Amino acid sequence: MAEQTPPRTYETPPTERPITDAEAARSAGLAHNEHLKIASGYLRGTLADGLLKHATGAISEDDGQLVKFHGMYMQDDRDIRAERTKKKLEKAFSFMIRLRIAGGVVTPKQWLALDEIATTYAGGALRATTRQTFQYHGVIKSNLKRTMAAIDATLLDTIAACGDVNRNVMAATNPAQVGAHKAAYQLGKDISDSLLPKTSAWREIWLDGERVVGGENAAEIEPVYGKTYLPRKFKTVIAVPPSNEVDIFAHDLGFIAILDEKNRVTGWNVTVGGGMGMTHGETDTFPRTADVMCFVAPEDALKTAEAVMTVQRDWGNRKVRKNARLKYTIERYGLSAFRAEVEKRVGKPLADPKPYTFTNNGDRYGWTEGDDGRHHLTLYVASGRIKDYENGPQLLTGLRRIAEIHEGDFRLTGNQNVIIANVPSDKRAEIEALVDQHGMMKGASALRRNSMACVALPTCGLALAESERYLPDLMTELETSLASHGLAEDEITIRMTGCPNGCARPFIAEIGLVGRGPERYHLYLGAAFDGSRLGKLYGEDVTASEIKTILDPLFAAYAKNKQPGERFGDYLIRDGYVTKTINGPDFHEKIGPLKSAA
């Protein structure tokens, strides 16, 4: 018997635009960040002054919130925190700078420039993120302007890479479907450009641009966002089935290409209300997979994107920041009310979604050939960290050499990997030689190829436990276990994050590990391989050494009892080890193992 969902009652949506008056914001009890945005003068705050305070590598706490809109997080090296006070040194502050690279497409020339910036200012590492862009770590305050100027010279920027805005727009990279990819990339780029904040603060602060005067009129300065921008971050992605490499269900807004028999895009299914972040111990916060809301024709896609974002702008919760994302807006007011409002703003009724099929949310490694005869090589990059590894792949140098001769482009994937794309047939051998020479294609296990980890310690201020630095070791242990059960070649997604904000999207991995404290993780199991279903909390506060002990018997059972083609996450649910998660609100229900795996 199917599970009965109790009827939901929804609140009546607001009709007013967001409050932009400081006094009114106070009496309405808005969250601190809302006051900040109102007072910031369109994201300026006191950043310019803060950069002149030479005795500290930090900026003020409030500016620390604002600087996210400029693509940066202030962080500190937590590995050396303990020694600093005794040495009469403040925390080892530095900044993470995230680029905005719509669709993750980078030209060879840009690659070389980005590489040089990494080498000069960011400890010699480029980090591919889980959202198709690069971020730099460890840039100190005195180098921020130099770094930003160098980024500007590449014709890229960092505007809205973080903050309460539409962030970097992801788009499918599948180079085999040339036409569909082009359409996906174009839509992503259009959305990125159209929803970009218009304030001149970025240019003014980082590039010593002139302050644009005379504009106190929000309609001129920020026609879409207004003074207070969005209630919370907003993430948009474009997917082309059958690959869900962009993890469309984990994002606020998504477009799924609906293809005809010739792989041409006939329109887009629109998804809304996905998101990963939650707070440990607070069940009114939860990850949520997106709803597939409607289908739009290609010409309506951009307008729909704007409509979804502006409804969230106006309806999103600005009092309780942890409930501010679109997923909570939809839970609060209901999908049909939300859809009705979007239709109102688009100016026409929208069709119901069309059928589509995703098969996975990972990358295709190795060489593929597009339907235009061009070649594409997907490289595995452990945790997206592009550097020269001691006794390992010389990724930074190797990719630099390739960029020097490459005529196509590079694509960053949503799985922290890199594609050397659009290689003409006569260049393939040359690139292959460079790849070999720098040890960049050393075979990674099936588990590693389906793994992701966030940065976490030592730089991320939110991390409660290790992630990027620990997952490789854990996978080495799990590989032994999997091999012993004959599962070495089975593809199972595994993702780890240092905190429940979910940068590496652990809640939709078949094995999800989320940091709780030093060497302690929550273990989530039962998510779908294609990223369409959340996992369920299986082991609480599991120590690092216990993870293998818990998983080993489950691997054994899976190896023994799986049906042909059955995925690990699906199997655990079918065989009754863990409860299936329907969606966000029941994420915290019926947790724990249902039966012993021994």
**Residues designated catalytic:** 98, 167, 233, 235, 454, 460, 499, 503
Cα 33 to chain centroid, rounded: 22
| Binding span for other proteins by CB under 8 A among 136-144, 328-336, 344-352, 458-466 | 136-144
Q: How far apart are CA 328 and CA 232, in angstroms?
A: 11
* Amino acid present at 92: A
448, two tokens: 């590693």
Q: Which is nearer to other proteins, 96 or 196 (CB)?
A: 96
Q: How far apart are CA 570 and CA 370, in angstroms?
A: 32
* Amino acid present at 306: E
407, two tokens: 């005529």
Residues found in the chain: 598
Q: How far apart are CA 419 and CA 430, in angstroms?
A: 16
Q: Of 11, 21, 49, 90, which lies in the binding site for other proteins, with binding defined by CB under 8 A?
A: 90
Is residue 142 involved in binding other proteins (CB under 8 A)?
yes
The DSSP code for 253 is E
| Binding span for other proteins by CB under 8 A among 41-49, 89-97, 169-177, 232-240 | 89-97
Q: Of 20, 51, 93, 588, which lies in the binding site for other proteins, with binding defined by CB under 8 A?
A: 93
Beta bridge partners of 236: 253
| Binding span for other proteins by CB under 8 A among 64-72, 84-92, 193-201, 388-396 | 84-92
CB-CB contact of 452 with 495 (8 Å): yes
Is residue 541 involved in binding other proteins (CB under 8 A)?
no
Q: How far is the CB of 140 from other proteins (least distance, A)?
A: 6
Q: Which is nearer to other proteins, 79 or 407 (CB)?
A: 79
Number of chain positions touching other proteins (CB under 8 A): 24
Q: How far apart are CA 132 and CA 406, in angstroms?
A: 20
Is residue 85 involved in binding other proteins (CB under 8 A)?
yes
* Amino acid present at 411: R
* Amino acid present at 300: D
Is residue 120 involved in binding other proteins (CB under 8 A)?
yes
Q: Of 140, 340, 446, 559, which lies in the binding site for other proteins, with binding defined by CB under 8 A?
A: 140
Q: Which is nearer to other proteins, 42 or 95 (CB)?
A: 95
| Binding span for other proteins by CB under 8 A among 87-95, 234-242, 247-255, 455-463 | 87-95
Is residue 143 involved in binding other proteins (CB under 8 A)?
yes
Please measure the distance between the N-terminal and C-terminal CA atoms of the chain and give it in whole angstroms. Answer: 29
Is residue 92 involved in binding other proteins (CB under 8 A)?
yes
Q: How far apart are CA 209 and CA 264, in angstroms?
A: 43
The 308-337 contact track toward other proteins, x by CB under 8 A, reads ------------------------------
Q: Of 88, 262, 560, 595, which lies in the binding site for other proteins, with binding defined by CB under 8 A?
A: 88
**Degrees to nearest 5, angle at CA 239 with 263 and 180:** 25
Torsion region of 155: left, alpha or beta (phi above 0 gives left; psi -120 to 50 gives alpha): left
| Binding span for other proteins by CB under 8 A among 139-147, 155-163, 222-230, 364-372 | 139-147
Closest-CA residue to 49 (of 36, 30, 33, 67): 67
Is residue 146 involved in binding other proteins (CB under 8 A)?
yes
Helix/strand/coil (H, E, C) string of 134-150? EEEEEECHHHHHHHHHH
Q: Of 8, 15, 27, 87, which lies in the binding site for other proteins, with binding defined by CB under 8 A?
A: 87
Q: Of 10, 13, 46, 84, which lies in the binding site for other proteins, with binding defined by CB under 8 A?
A: 84
Q: Which is nearer to other proteins, 56 or 549 (CB)?
A: 56
Q: How far is the CB of 90 from other proteins (least distance, A)?
A: 6
Helix/strand/coil (H, E, C) string of 55-90? CCCCCCHHHHHHHHHHCEEEEECHHHHHHHCCCCCC
Q: Of 73, 121, 333, 358, which lies in the binding site for other proteins, with binding defined by CB under 8 A?
A: 121
Q: How far is the CB of 114 from other proteins (least distance, A)?
A: 16
Q: How far is the CB of 183 from other proteins (least distance, A)?
A: 42
| Binding span for other proteins by CB under 8 A among 107-115, 135-143, 471-479, 510-518 | 135-143
Is residue 476 involved in binding other proteins (CB under 8 A)?
no
CB-CB contact of 36 with 25 (8 Å): no
Q: Which is nearer to other proteins, 85 or 266 (CB)?
A: 85
Q: Which is nearer to other proteins, 146 or 354 (CB)?
A: 146
CB-CB contact of 274 with 283 (8 Å): no
By CB under 8 A, the residues from 64 to 83 that bind other proteins are: 77, 80, 83
**Degrees to nearest 5, angle at CA 434 with 432 and 435:** 65
- Bridge pairing between strands 536-543 and 520-525: antiparallel
Q: Which is nearer to other proteins, 208 or 407 (CB)?
A: 208
Q: How far is the CB of 64 from other proteins (least distance, A)?
A: 17
DSSP H stretches of helix in 465-581: 471-484, 544-561, 568-574
Q: Which is nearer to other proteins, 125 or 308 (CB)?
A: 125
Is residue 94 involved in binding other proteins (CB under 8 A)?
yes
Q: How far apart are CA 185 and CA 43, in angstroms?
A: 29
Q: How far is the CB of 95 from other proteins (least distance, A)?
A: 12
CB-CB contact of 162 with 155 (8 Å): no
Q: How far apart are CA 527 and CA 509, in angstroms?
A: 6
Q: Which is nearer to other proteins, 120 or 194 (CB)?
A: 120
Q: How far is the CB of 413 from other proteins (least distance, A)?
A: 32
Query: Measured on CA atoms in the order 30, 36, 40, 42, is the torsion positive or negative?
Result: negative
**Degrees to nearest 5, angle at CA 246 with 244 and 247:** 70
Q: How far is the CB of 149 from other proteins (least distance, A)?
A: 12
* Amino acid present at 596: S
Q: Which is nearer to other proteins, 57 or 526 (CB)?
A: 57
Q: How far is the CB of 56 from other proteins (least distance, A)?
A: 6
By CB under 8 A, the residues from 6 to 65 that bind other proteins are: 54-57
Which positions touch other proteins (CB under 8 A)?
A: 54-57, 77, 80, 83-90, 92-94, 120-121, 140-143, 146
